[in-house]
Amino acid sequence: MSMHMPMPTFTVRDVPVYGDTILSPMAAYSDVPFRAICRRFGAAMHYTEFVPTEALLGDPNPLWRRLDVHPAGEHPMVFQIFGSDAQQILRAAQRIENWGADIIDINMGCSVPKVSEKGAGVGMMRQPKLVAETFRLLSKHLRVPVTGKLRLGWDETSQNYLEIAKIMVDNGAALVALHGRFRSQKYRGQADWDAIAKLKQALNVPVLGNGDVRTVADIDRLKAHTGCDGVMIGRA
């Protein structure tokens, strides 16, 4: 008697994801206990809190705890890191890829000034060459898939998410997540779901939509509006 395995909702290169609700990376929230609760209630893929690359290249320190994984295992598990130097990002990623990561994600969406104004987080979106070099190096030297999360751009005068996302994919990114706001908006205003739809149409890898998902009905509306492969939920 044959057993029928369920089909994944989408795959991140060779990593299957069985579901379309994705727990967003959230500093000070996305720790092991919180992720366990979210998985129990249906989260299909988890991101860790983001960790600066400098913290991963030194001696053990409290920030390493952000990459702890539940003893029973968490799959698929996405480790999110950020930085502004491609070689440093590579060294950090190589160090942590055996710590339980199924996927390594580059944060290109953090709008906090102490991150973005130093060229990391959404600050990377102002440096297309850095984006290309980072994803090229990671895709070449890591065994696990590499992904990225970004915003629409730095501000309304520099909307470049399509350009940056294509650079990411051309250099090996296996998935792109888009928060439909500019850095200048932070979390104000309305998320641009039309932009998520345009991104989905433009790329040949899975796209996650993020922004203004507060109810179960919002999950269905975002998927119907954009055609995105999964819905990333953070500040619900």
Q: Give dist(CA 47, CA 12) in Å, integer.
A: 14
The structure tokens listed for 43 are 């989260």
pLDDT tens column, 65-99: 888 888 777 899 999 999 999 999 999 999 999 89
pLDDT at 1 over 50: no
In a domain? residue 3: no
pLDDT at 24: 93
pLDDT at 21: 97
- Tally the domains of the chain: 1
In a domain? residue 2: no
Is residue 228 annotated as a catalytic residue, yes or no? no
Q: Which of 44, 90, 110, 176 is catalytic?
A: 110
pLDDT tens column, 207-231: 999 999 999 999 999 999 999 999 9
pLDDT at 70: 83
pLDDT tens column, 139-171: 999 999 999 999 999 998 999 999 999 999 999
In a domain? residue 1: no
pLDDT tens column, 104-138: 999 999 888 899 989 999 999 999 999 999 999 99
In a domain? residue 46: yes
In a domain? residue 4: no
pLDDT at 19 over 90: yes
pLDDT at 236: 60
Structural domain range at position 218: 10-233
In a domain? residue 41: yes
In a domain? residue 184: yes
> How much is the pTM?
0.94
Q: Give dist(CA 124, CA 126) in Å, integer.
A: 5
Roughly what angle, to the nearest 10 degrees, separates helices 193-202 and 161-170?
A: 30
- 64 — pLDDT class (breaks 50, 70, 90): confident
Residue 5, Cβ density class (10 Å: 0-12 exposed, 13-18 middle, ≥19 buried): exposed
More confident residue, 187 or 27: 27
Q: Which of 34, 43, 38 minimizes the C-alpha distance to 66?
A: 34
Average pLDDT value for residue range 168-197: 93
pLDDT at 187 over 90: no
Q: What is the CATH number of the domain that holds 46?
A: 3.20.20.70
pLDDT at 53 over 50: yes
In a domain? residue 116: yes
